[in-house]
Amino acid sequence: MSKNAILSFPSLQNIDAEINLTGSKSECNRALVIAALSKGKVLVNNLSIAKDTTTLHRILSEIETDLEIVDVGPAGTAMRFLTALLPTRAKKYTLTGSERMKERPIGILVDALNHIGANITYLEKEGFPPIQINEDFKQITNKIQIKGDISSQYISALLMIAPTLPMGLVLEIVGDLTSKPYVEMTLSMLQNVGIKHTWEDNVITIETQEFKPTTLFVEPDWSAASYWYSIATLSEKASIFLTGLNGYSLQGDSVITEIMANFGITSQFINNGVQLKKEPKKIERKIFDCKECPDLAQTIIVCCAILGHEATFTGLETLKIKETDRILALQNEIAKIGVKLIERNLSYKLDCSGLFFPEKLVVKTYDDHRMAMAFAPLALKIKTVEIEDMDVVEKSYPNFWIDLQKVGFIVNTN
């Protein structure tokens, strides 16, 4: 039975701490797939302990055995990356996941793979997992088109297998590209292991190539760092050092340094890490575009809601097909403090006119790790905050509750 976290923060809200974050889930998952495709030439250092990554690591170590049914559970990145990787293995697999995973679309990626010669069929609902991957993949073309505004993980999945394909790949991105930094991350990591590419206009080309022997070092997770920026913003005084992070990250979520500067949080890169400090500042920025950093959306929206800052948010199109419908989940939970998130065409406006802080608040997580971590800082403003199903954080940040305790939060369970 799942446990809930009961949070409180009884001190003066002066936070002074050093936090060691786990490796980036995004970098690590890409590194593991690249290592598997390299057939031993590429090694990975600083593996993340996030559950999504440990799940993918385990599956990749098993697929060369007699494994026929591959179950990724709730790991969305693993589902997408394995959908592209498994057809290259010349074996028959059933790829499945949790009940929520069966509601998350995979059709665009399957269509692209079948177009170039894969043989992938659906076992239940058309366009959704579970899928059957047959062993008779024979490339018939290297040209594919794929929509850019659904999930950048489809594009990354295809780019990583491209150098192993007999004809390589010429991938045309149709329309706007959502989460462009994640595609750039994939290409940079491929470049680090000797894989060259060209990107002209909306066409990315990768020819058949050999991987070079390399060790990929995984940087700590900037997505996880975002929750500490939120905590710093909502505290009275904060000085937080996050080890291992640098100012030249491949991770798009490192933009949190620029975003939270609007809230008075300075970021100084020193001593192989980043020092966060809170400075008095009036918040003036009214529009936040999350198109290239959708995983930061919950952190920023909740932070603005707590501060009563009536900002507008754009670039949230992919949030409805994540671990949960994140738009609906946000609307439900911030309503509990009297705040509305109102949709207007493709933008969302916060109405904080009814903001209030009750003595106690119970937050649902909807099986979504980011809901738990985005709302946890509310304990700086509310006497008792209960976060349901606290173990969801294992997906990306298993030590989250332990780290909260290090800075003065009291974390009990029931």
pLDDT tens digits, 329-359 = 999 999 999 999 999 888 999 999 999 999 9
- Which domain range does residue 10 map to? 5-23+220-413
Task: State whether 135 and 165 are in the same domain.
Answer: yes
175 and 77 share a domain? yes
Please check whether residues 208 and 298 belong to one and the same domain.
Answer: no
Question: Which amino acid makes up residue 257?
Answer: T
- Catalytic positions are 295
Which residue type occupies 100?
Answer: R
Would you state the pLDDT for residue 65?
Answer: 81
Q: Which of 270, 216, 277 is nearest to 243 (CA)?
A: 270
Does 284 share its domain with 190? no
pLDDT at 377 over 90: yes
Q: Report the C-alpha gap between 370 and 223 in whole angstroms.
A: 9
pLDDT value for 1: 63
Tell me how crowded residue 242 is: count the other CB atoms within 10 A of its CB.
Answer: 22
Structure-block tokens of residue 207: 């020819």
Domain's final residue, options 187, 217, 247:
217
Q: What is the pLDDT of residue 230?
A: 97
CATH of the domain at 269: 3.65.10.10
Cα separation, 8 vs 209, whole angstroms: 54
Verify that 174 and 290 share a domain, yes or no: no
Asked whether residue 357 falls in the same domain as residue 285, the answer is yes
- The larger pLDDT score, comparing residue 414 to residue 110, is at 110
76-85 and 25-37 are packed helices; what angle lies between their axes, rounded to 10 degrees?
20
Please tell me whether residues 326 and 192 are part of one structural domain.
Answer: no
Residues 129 and 233 in one domain: no
* pLDDT tens-place string over residues 173-216: 999 888 899 999 999 999 999 999 999 999 999 999 999 999 99
The whole-number average pLDDT for the span 389-404 is 96
**What are the pLDDT digits (tens) for 114-164?**
999 999 999 999 999 999 999 999 999 999 999 988 888 999 999 999 999
Same domain assignment for residues 108 and 201: yes
Q: Which of 158, 188, 217 is the last residue of a domain?
A: 217
Last residue of a domain, one of 170, 199, 217: 217
**Shared domain check, 210 and 251:** no
Cα angle: 104, vertex 108, 109; to 5 degrees: 90
pLDDT class of 2 with cuts at 50, 70, 90? confident
Measured CA to CA, the distance from residue 126 to residue 121 in angstroms comes to: 9
Overall domain count for the chain? 2
Q: Which two three-digit tokens encode residue 349?
A: 């406006």
Same structural domain for residues 226 and 248?
yes
Token pair recorded at residue 274? 């980043």
CA distance 326 to 328: 5
228 & 121 share domain: no
Helix residue ranges per DSSP H, 195-255: 222-234
- 66 pLDDT exceeds 80? no
